[in-house]
Chain A
Amino acid sequence: MKSDRILSIYTLAFLAFMFAPLLLMIVASFNNISPPSVTEWHGFTTKWYRFFWMPDSQLAADPVLRTLDRGRFIGCFGNSMFVAGIVVPLSLLLGLAGAIMLTRWSSKANGLLWWVLLSPILAPGVVLGLSALVFWARLGVGAGLYTIIMAQVTFIAGYPMLVLMARLQRQPIELEEAARDLGASPLRSFLRITLPFLAPALFSSAVVAFLASMENYNTTMFAKGGSCTFATEIGAMARNPNGHPPVINAVGTAIIVITVAAALAHALMKRREEKAK
């Protein structure tokens, strides 16, 4: 019993360690001082949030905010959405193809294929960005959003692959065979039986791929050339010698709120599903 107690306290301490920096970040996002601080309270403000929609005149009046390039920030965010919009479907396609080849293709080369397809997940992110940059430059494609997409897909496709593989291994191969036996063409059997079976896994790996694409910094920094994404732009603000503006904290708080809401929704949905069973 005593050891259970210790374990519970330890777990709570661990969670506190994980959440404390995030809470401090939220607090600092409402403090009217730059760089963000939690030790000197200069009054409650929401201007770090309003930065994104306040009128230009108000923006120009603020000594901290006027140094920031709002248009560029929003442009970079748009780039990120564009990149993710291509990376997610492409990763799902490659991941699905990889999962099917690895689970349903019995061949001696299968073991080798495992190593090749999983190596990007294991490799340091910077190396992937760098090799995409050099490779596409060799083919005459300059660094930019295109190389970012290629570099990201290289490893992001591995996540759907792992998730789909786990799901495919749980699907009895007899389901596909039964469909074929009942007269369905391979395509119909895939679309009608296998794909619906994989749908939940496809959905969750799409979410994972989207998050991975949005937050990726290491790989993107190497492949980006002159372009920017949400993550590299956020990262660039750290290089401000006076410390980063609390706008970052505001963005972080928004991300935390969205994440918590999504996680809660997911947990509740799961609970309802289990109750339904």
Chain B
Amino acid sequence: MSQLLRTYGKLLTSVFLAAVLFWALMLILLPQATILERALIAPKRTLDSSAAQTLSRDAATCMAVLKTHEKDDTKTAVDNGGLAIPSMNPGGASGGSAASNGGLAVPSMGGMAVPSMGGMAVPSMGGSAGAVRPYILQCDRANTHKQLSRRSGEPAFLDTAYGLAAMKVDDKAPIAEQMRQAETIRDAAQKLADKLRIDEASQSRFSTDNFRTMIAATKIPLSESAKAAEANTIENKLYGLMGLRFEKDGDVYERLGLTNLTRTLFFAILVTALALVICYPIAFKAALATSERQQIWLMLGLIIPYAIVELMRIYAWTTIIDNHGLINSALMWLGITDSPIAFNRSPGTVFVVIAYTYVLFMVFPMLNVMSTLDRNQIEAARDLGASTPRLHWRVIIPHAKPGIAVGCISTFMLAAGAFSVPRIISRGLQAEWFAQTIYNKFFESQASNVGAAYSLTYTLVCFVLVALFMWAMRTRLKDFARAQ
């Protein structure tokens, strides 16, 4: 530090120091720490206090709806201000249960509590016989015998767990009585919710639930014939070997989060290996095996596709692989196929386009390091009688090793983190890459805490792989500066 101060003085040194601290803390370390915090906090709605809070809110809504209903009691209750809609099919077979409501009420997912519909009463397709009030979901849910979210899967209920009286809104009682019942439930549940929230605040807020969700096995509904067919694919056999897919009681389970991660990493490694094989001769040619005049043009030929906006390189492929694209037209013209093949649905296409998009990230680090090799060394080796393979193995590859390592790491990380390619090429039509999974968890299914756990795991796994690779290749981080 004293050397820095001496060279740059107080002013500049403090500017540099502040900039680096801002970068390291505000942009790198603290954001990751926030992700860790997010990943360790269980989503709010699984807490017992929120179950009690939901109950209280349901009871309150029930009361409010009953009140409007009471006013319009004499009418046929066609229009209740949009809040509660009477049953369309009185006397129908359905018992008014949420499960048969044609998808209007959301069923419980993976052991989570039934989400509240935000105070909206949802109409039923069939009311129960003999009820005084029309079907109101919130009144049915205003029951203290409410199931709680438990990881173990053992049933637990609000009334038994916290000594609450078993209460519900009796749909056969007079409306006024029902409103009184709802009010009692509302107050009791609110009191319990407040108490639980205080208790929960003093407990640790952290849990590993989100990570468990990620590795949890999901039942795959399959017919017997589909099961037999699917069990025979290589992919599924490999998952079976890794314990990511298994059969229990005749049902197939798969750890979807992990198989997704594994598939992404596998494809990324494959892209990297392919890019290495493709690019080594190119880098060698451009760096060492061409005249100076040719080199300028060759470099231009490599730089231009490298510099063109990534998205455009991806879009360029759509004219080739579309249903009316180049390949399909060629195949149909040749009579090989009658109807277009949906290439954009195939993981193979995403693979090829990822390889195309990121292959040049392999060329440049190799090329840069290779071109620092003194060409005299090649001539000396040839002069001493080295064959071409020996020349590469003993002279060029050892020299280019840092560049090879940097190229592999860059390509791997880009391929593993690929998001734009699958999103644009497949238009969401095929198996997700891991980055897409994170996106969906975060923005499309509102499971952001689980998404944070996914993101963190993903980062760590990638970094561990890179660190292992660097250790195996004896590469140091400083080589990144050399290879640029």
Contact = CB atoms under 8 A, between A and B. Distances in A.
| Direct chain A–B contact by Cβ atoms under 8 Å | yes
Interface in A203-254: 211, 214-215, 217-218, 221-222, 231, 234-235, 238-239, 241, 243-244, 248-249, 251-252
A19 B305 contact: yes
Interface size range on B against A: 35 or more
Query: Which applies to chain A's interface (DSSP): helix, strand, loop or mixed?
Result: helix
Contacts of B300: 263-264, 267
A218 B27 contact: no
B12 A186 contact: yes
Nearest to A120: B28
B417 A186 contact: no
Contacts of A239: 427-428
Given A124-B413, A127-B459, A131-B35, A186 B23 contact: no
Contact of B9 (A131, A186, A259): A186
B438 A130 contact: yes
Interface residues of A, number: 104
Given A39-B324, A218-B420, A7 B8 contact: no
Contacts of B34: 131, 134-135, 138
Contact of A134 (B11, B28, B35, B308): B35
Contacts of B1: 105, 107
A200 interface: no
B15 interface: yes
Interface in A86-136: 93-94, 96-98, 100-101, 104-107, 111, 113-128, 130-132, 134-135
Given A107-B1, A215-B310, A252-B312, A22 B305 contact: yes
Interface in A1-35: 3-4, 7-8, 10-11, 14-15, 17-19, 21-22, 24-25, 28, 35
Contact of B413 (A40, A123, A214, A234): A123
Q: Is the interface of B mostly helix, strand, loop or mixed?
A: helix
Contacts, number: 283
B226 interface: no
Contacts of A100: 4, 8, 16
Interface in B454-484: 455, 458-459, 462-463, 466, 477-478, 480-482, 484
B427 A249 contact: no
B419 A221 contact: yes
A38 B326 contact: yes
Contacts of A101: 4, 16-17, 20
A166 B24 contact: no
A234 B326 contact: no
Interface stretch (A50-58, A61-69, A71-79, A150-158): A150-158
A260 interface: yes
Interface stretch (B117-125, B133-141, B277-285): B277-285
Nearest to A152: B27
Contact of A260 (B16, B304, B462, B481): B304
A35 B20 contact: no
Interface in B192-228: none
B24 A113 contact: yes
A214 B458 contact: no
26 contacts: A10-B285, A11-B282, A11-B286, A18-B301, A18-B360, A25-B312, A28-B319, A38-B326, A97-B17, A101-B16, A104-B4, A120-B28, A122-B462, A123-B459, A130-B455, A154-B28, A154-B31, A166-B481, A186-B12, A211-B307, A218-B418, A234-B311, A252-B312, A252-B315, A262-B307, A267-B296
Interface of A: 3-4, 7-8, 10-11, 14-15, 17-19, 21-22, 24-25, 28, 35-40, 93-94, 96-98, 100-101, 104-107, 111, 113-128, 130-132, 134-135, 138, 150, 153-154, 157, 159, 162-163, 165-166, 169, 173, 176-177, 180, 185-187, 189-190, 211, 214-215, 217-218, 221-222, 231, 234-235, 238-239, 241, 243-244, 248-249, 251-252, 255-256, 259-260, 262-264, 267, 270-271
